[in-house]
Structures are given as C-alpha cells and as structure tokens.
Copies of this chain bind each other. A is one copy, B any other.
C-alpha cells in the first residue's frame, strides 16, 4: 500500500486514471521482486555494439526535450527511466523499445539506482543501445557523474546528453528570471536534502542572489527556519552566511512546465502557511530572492497560479506524427 500511495502522489491523474488492474499487479511485482530486468527483447542485430547514453529529459513537458535526447530515445533499444520522468515524455519512446521505470521510492533510492545501473550494463553488454533517462539534467542532482564513472569502470564510456534542469526552467516557467539587471546578479542552485535524506546546509543571503532549492518542499519548515534564523547553528542543516529576512519574496513552483503546474508567490514569512493550506504537488522547488518579484507582484500573503499552457501547441507538433520519429 505504501508503494501505491507513493505512485498516487507522484504520477499525474491522467496516468493514474489509465492504470489497469494488470498494470497495478505488474508494479507490485516489479516493486517486490529482485532486479532482473528482462533485456532479451528486442533481438539485437548482429555486430551491433552496445552503448550507454545518459540523457536529461528536462523539467517535465515533452516540448522541453532537446533534439538530442529525443533522438536518443527514438534510437534506443532499452530505456531505463527515473521515476519522475513524466508519462508524456515516455510516450515518445518507440514501440519496439523496452521501457523500464525506476522504483526509486523514498528510502530505497540507492537500491533502485544500483538495480537500474546493473540492468543498463547488462543490456549494453548484450549489444543493446541503452538510454538512461533522467529527469532534468544528468549532472545536476541526478547522480549522473557516479553513473558515468561506474559504467566507465566496466568498459562502457557513457555518452552524456544535457537536459533542461527544473532549477532554471521551473523559475522561468513561473515568470521568475533568476538573473535580472538591478535585481539579481547570480544564482545558487542547492538541494534542501543531503545524502541519506538529511537536512542540507542552506545558502545564506547575499545581495543580488537568487537561491533555487530542489528537494526542499517535503521539509519546507526546516528549510525556511535554516534560511531565516538569526543565528545559524553551524551544524548540518544550517546555513552558510547571512540570514534571509522573513519578507524576502519566494515562490513555490510545482510540476514546472506541465499542464498541472502550480506557482505560489509569497514570502519566506508566509510560505509554510501557504503550503500547509494548499497542499503539495510534487515534484517542486523553492526559489528565493528579489527576482521572484521582478516580473510578478502579488497582493496578500500569497497568490496561486494554476496551470501552464505555454508549451502545449509546441508539443503536439512533435508528438502527433508518428512517422516523424521512425528511427
């Protein structure tokens, strides 16, 4: 049941609605049995040397894939995708490809990573073109470097394709320019959660700074306390540098770029109350700094904006015509 509730939390309603009993049974099996991904289909052409590509799939919307990642998807025999890669992106995989989604649920992320890497290596050794598809960018909080090193040590030089990170595309989709003359002259991207789920050290306030905090919303109270406390304690989970004033503008951006995107514009003083009242819609991020008000002001303690249709027409074109994508 824990698995089911986690899926319900992370997957979009449309995908959940399309689930069949068989899908659920499959998921339960995949979540409870040991990693033995079947890499035997489709048949490998003789003399095809296996390969491994690590590619970023961007913040969520398929229109924000790069041409390179889309091409890598369309030519892959085996696609091993991280859990957060949305179904609308996975729908672009060719029918002949074997697509596996990671079982990276809270508390099990290392196991899931090991399983996926082992499956990818086995497939490449069997001559398949393997694509490890990661949400966002492979080299920004996605453990892509570890993975590239691991494959390298086992004889496969992984090709690495960048992706748009939600750390930048998320603020953009919310109308927040992470730099802007006279407002913000640099941006810090950090994680609210360190290895093992511990609290991470927060960036201090510096004039002209925009801070983007990933993996921060599920422990928002601790993150905001660390950002704003008068006296950082110096231990793990505390802050490097000066406190951010409680009236610093901030925004919560969830499901960035997707149809069900939600933006909450508020301040560090009110952000916890806002999220308590509104609930969460993972994945999401917190962006902090004057840049949050560069293009959008709001009245009251917080303002909520639902939805994003900026990329819809752009995707239909790419996805509509199956003939376009024949490898």
Chain B neighbourhood of A68, CB < 8 A:
61, 63-64, 311, 314-315
Chain B neighbourhood of A85, CB < 8 A:
none
Would you call A148 an interface residue if the criterion is a C-beta within 8 Å of the partner chain's C-beta atoms?
yes
A150 to chain B, nearest CB (A): 11
Query: Please, how many angstroms separate the alpha-carbon atoms of A213 and B145 in the complex?
Result: 21
- With CB as the reference atom, state the residue of chain B lying closest to A315: B67
**Which residues from 225 to 257 on chain A have a C-beta closer than 8 Å to any C-beta of chain B?**
240-241
Tell which of B189, B295, B324 touches A145, judged by Cβ atoms closer than 8 Å.
B295
Would you call A112 an interface residue if the criterion is a C-beta within 8 Å of the partner chain's C-beta atoms?
no
A145 to chain B, nearest CB (A): 3
B179 adjacent to A186 (CB under 8 Å): no
Proximity string of chain A (54-76) to chain B, C-beta cutoff 8 Å, 1 when within and 0 when not: 00001001111111101110000
Would you call A149 an interface residue if the criterion is a C-beta within 8 Å of the partner chain's C-beta atoms?
yes
A168 adjacent to B139 (CB under 8 Å): yes
What is the interface size of chain A, counting residues whose CB is below 8 A from a CB of the partner? Answer: 69
Q: Which of the 9-residue segments A31-39, A170-178, A276-284 touches chain B? A: A170-178
Tell which of B62, B137, B161, B310 touches A67, judged by Cβ atoms closer than 8 Å.
B62
- With CB as the reference atom, state the residue of chain B lying closest to A166: B162
Q: Is the interface of A mostly helix, strand, loop or mixed?
A: mixed
Given the interface contacts A164-B162, A294-B145, does A138 sit within 8 Å of B172 by beta carbon?
yes
B188 adjacent to A187 (CB under 8 Å): yes
Given the interface contacts A141-B179, A168-B137, A194-B185, does A64 sit within 8 Å of B162 by beta carbon?
yes
Query: Please, how many angstroms separate the alpha-carbon atoms of A183 and B137 in the complex?
Result: 17
B179 adjacent to A185 (CB under 8 Å): no
Query: Please, how many angstroms separate the alpha-carbon atoms of A245 and B190 in the complex?
Result: 22
Query: Please, how many angstroms separate the alpha-carbon atoms of A185 and B143 in the complex?
Result: 11
Chain B neighbourhood of A240, CB < 8 A:
206
Query: Please, how many angstroms separate the alpha-carbon atoms of A175 and B145 in the complex?
Result: 8
- With CB as the reference atom, state the residue of chain B lying closest to A54: B172
Would you call A203 an interface residue if the criterion is a C-beta within 8 Å of the partner chain's C-beta atoms?
yes
Chain B neighbourhood of A143, CB < 8 A:
180-181
Query: Please, how many angstroms separate the alpha-carbon atoms of A313 and B183 in the complex?
Result: 41
A211 to chain B, nearest CB (A): 9
A179 adjacent to B140 (CB under 8 Å): yes
Most chain B Cβ neighbours within 10 Å, of A163, A311, A313, A314: A314
Chain B neighbourhood of A186, CB < 8 A:
188-191, 203
Given known contacts A159-B310, A186-B203, what 17 new A-B pairs fall within 8 Å (CB)?
A: A63-B67, A63-B71, A67-B318, A71-B318, A137-B172, A139-B171, A139-B172, A139-B177, A140-B178, A143-B181, A145-B183, A145-B295, A146-B181, A161-B310, A168-B168, A185-B190, A185-B194
